Amino acid sequence: MKKSVFSKQKEEIENNLTTTSWMGFTPGLVGIVGYSLFLEKDSWKFLFLSILLASASYIIGFFLGFLFGIPKRNSEKETAYNLSTNLVDISDWLTKIIIGLGLIEIRGIGAYLMSIGEYVQKQTNGENSIKVFVICCVSYFFIFGVYYGYNYMRLYLSGQFKVADDNLLKLNEKAEVLDELVSEPTIEINSSMKKNLEEYELLLKNTKEVDEYSFDDWFYKGMAEYGKKDYNKAIDYFGKALEKDKDGNNAPKAHLYIGLAFERLNVFEKGIEKYNYIISNFPNYNFIYGVHSNRAILYHKLENYNKALEDFDKAISLNPNYENAYWGKANTLRKLRRYDEALIAIEKSIEKKGDNDVTWAIKGSILINLDRLDEALNALSTAIRINSKNESAWYNKACIYSLKNEKENMLVHLVKAIELKEEYKGLAMADEDFRNYWNDDAFKKLIEM
C-alpha cells in the first residue's frame, strides 16, 4: 500500500530521532563505562554515580529543550472551539524564569559544576581527573538533552499536537456545517448531508475517545445511522446524546429523530409517545409545528383520521406556510371522503410547495373521487412529469382511462404502474374502476404475467 507524504515524513522524523539518540547516548555511555574500568578504586561506585549524574543532566536538559521547542499556534482564525494554550503559557512562564535566573547565576555555573566534581571525587577517593570527567559528563548529557528535547518537540511532538488540534478544529467546523444542514429536520438524508456525516464520523474517530463524545458527537452519529437506514442503532445513538444533555437546545431535535426512526420501523405508537414528549416539554421548540405534522402522519397511518386532522390544523395554525401539513391534511380529508375540502387543502400545498410529484398525485386522486377526470389526468400527468417513477400516478391514470373506456391507454399506464410496483396486479383485479376489463384477454394476460 502506497504511503502518504505525511506518513513518509513522520517515518523519516522518527528514524532521524532514533539515529540522533543512538549517536548521543553511545559515546557518552561508552566514555562512562570505559573510564570506570580504568579506575583502581571504587570503579563500580563511580560507574553508578556517573550514570545517575548523566541521567539527571539529560532529563534536565531534555526538559529545557522541550520547553524551548513548544510552538505557539496562530489563533487569529475565528472558531467556536478554543484550543488549549495552557502548556504554551507554562512554557513561556518557565522559559522566562529559567533564562532570567540563568543570566543572574551564569558566573556561578562553573563553581556549581566544580562542586559536583569534587563531591564525586571525595565519594570515590579518586584522583583529580575524576573531577574533570564528571564536569565533562554533566555538561555533555545536559547539552545533548537540550538538543534532543528541542528537536523531539519541534520535529515530532509539535506535529502530533498540530494534527490533534487541526482535527478538533475541523470537527468543530464540520459540526457547524451539519448544524446548518439540520436546522430544520428532514425525513430524508440527502447526499450532501451523508457526505458531511461520513467526514464527521472519520474526524471523530481520529480525534476523540468514546467516553469523550459530546451531545453533538452522538447526535451526528445517530444522523449517520439514520441516513444508512439502521434505525435501531440511530435510536441508540440519539439516546446517548440525550444522556449527555437531556434539556439542552438541541434535545427536542434528538427526540424528533427518534420519533422519525420509530416511524420508519413501523412502531407508530412509540413515535407518537416521542412527539407527545416534545409537545409537552418543549412547547417553544422552533419546529413544534413540524412535530404536530409528524404526529398527524402517524395518527393517519393508524387510521385515526380525526386526530390526524386536528394535528394538521394545529401545524398550519402555527406555521401557515408549512406545505407538508397541507398535503397531509388533504390526504386525511380524502380518507374521510371530504373531497371538496381536500381539494382546497391540496391547492394550498401546491401554492406553497410548487412542483412536487406527491402533491400532484394526491390532487389527481381527489379529482377522481370528485369525478373530474380530465382535470385529474392533467394533475397526474404533472406528477409523472416531475417524477416518472411515481407509481400511484401511473396507476390512477390507468384507472381514469379504464373509466373513459380507452383500453390502449389504460394498458400502457397499468403496465408501467406494475413495473414500478408489482402489488398493483392484485389491486387492479379487485378495483371497481377496472370492472369492464376483468374478463378482457389482454387485461387478464397482464395481471397473470
Residue 441: which CATH number? 1.25.40.10
Nearest to 33 by CA among 21, 52, 46: 46
Same-domain status, 252 and 159: no
The DSSP-derived string for 214-267 is: -HHHHHHHHHHHHHTT-HHHHHHHHHHHHHH-SSSTTHHHHHHHHHHHHHHTT-
The C-alpha cell at 258 is 427518534
Contacts of 307 (CB under 8 A, 6+ apart): 296, 299
Question: Do 159 and 273 lie in a common domain?
Answer: no
434 shares a domain with 349: yes
Question: Is residue 286 located within the same domain as residue 359?
Answer: yes
Angle between helices 339-353 and 323-335 (to 10 degrees): 160
Q: Would you state the cell numbers that stand for residue 408, as one nine-digit string? A: 390502449
- Of the residues 143, 165, 187, the one at which a domain ends: 165
Is the pTM of the predicted complex or chain greater than 0.85?
Answer: no
Q: Which residues contact 366 (CB under 8 A, 6 or more apart)?
A: 330, 334, 339, 342, 343, 346
On whether the CB atoms of residues 13 and 162 are closer than 8 A, the answer is no
Any domain includes 303: yes
Range of the domain at 152: 5-165
Residue 171: inside a domain: no
In a domain, residue 31? The reply is yes
From 25, 53, 49, select the one nearest 39 (Cα to Cα).
49
Q: Are residues 302 and 371 in the same domain?
A: yes
- Domain assignment present for residue 278? The answer is yes
- Judge whether 170 lies within some domain: no
CA geometry: angle at 247 spanning 243 and 249, to 5°? 115
My answer on whether 192 and 129 are in the same domain is no
Residues 154 and 195 in one domain: no
Do residue 236 and residue 383 come from a single domain?
Answer: yes
Which of 133, 165, 197 is a domain's end point? 165
**Do 220 and 263 fall into the same domain?**
yes
| Number of domains composing the chain | 2
Is 125 inside any structural domain? yes
Q: Is the domain of 54 the same as that of 196?
A: no
Residue type, 99: I
Q: Is residue 283 part of a domain?
A: yes
In this prediction, residue 63 carries a pLDDT of 75
Distance, in Å, from the CA atom of 376 to the CA atom of 339, rounded to the nearest integer, reads 13
pLDDT, position 413: 93
Q: Rounded to whole angstroms, how far apart are CA atoms 114 and 182?
A: 70
Same domain, 299 and 323: yes
Task: Answer yes or no: do 157 and 180 share one domain.
Answer: no
Contacts of 182 (CB under 8 A, 6+ apart): 193, 223, 253
Last residue of a domain, one of 165, 187, 205: 165
Answer whether residue 84 is part of any domain: yes
> How far is 278 from 92, CA to CA, in rounded Å?
51
pLDDT 10s per residue in the chain (449 long)?
Answer: 444 444 566 677 677 777 777 887 788 888 878 877 777 777 788 888 888 888 888 887 777 776 766 665 555 544 444 444 544 555 555 555 555 555 455 565 666 677 777 777 777 766 777 888 888 888 888 778 777 777 777 766 665 556 555 565 566 666 665 666 566 666 667 777 778 777 777 777 777 788 878 888 888 888 888 888 899 999 999 999 999 888 777 899 899 999 999 999 999 999 999 999 999 999 999 899 999 999 999 999 999 999 999 999 999 999 998 888 988 999 899 889 898 998 988 888 888 766 788 888 888 889 988 989 999 999 999 989 998 999 989 999 999 999 899 999 999 999 999 999 988 888 888 888 888 898 888 898 888 77
Long-range CB pairs of 419-422 (<8 Å, 24+ gap) are 420/389, 420/391, 420/394, 421/391, 421/395
Rounded Cα distance between 160 and 167, Å, is: 11
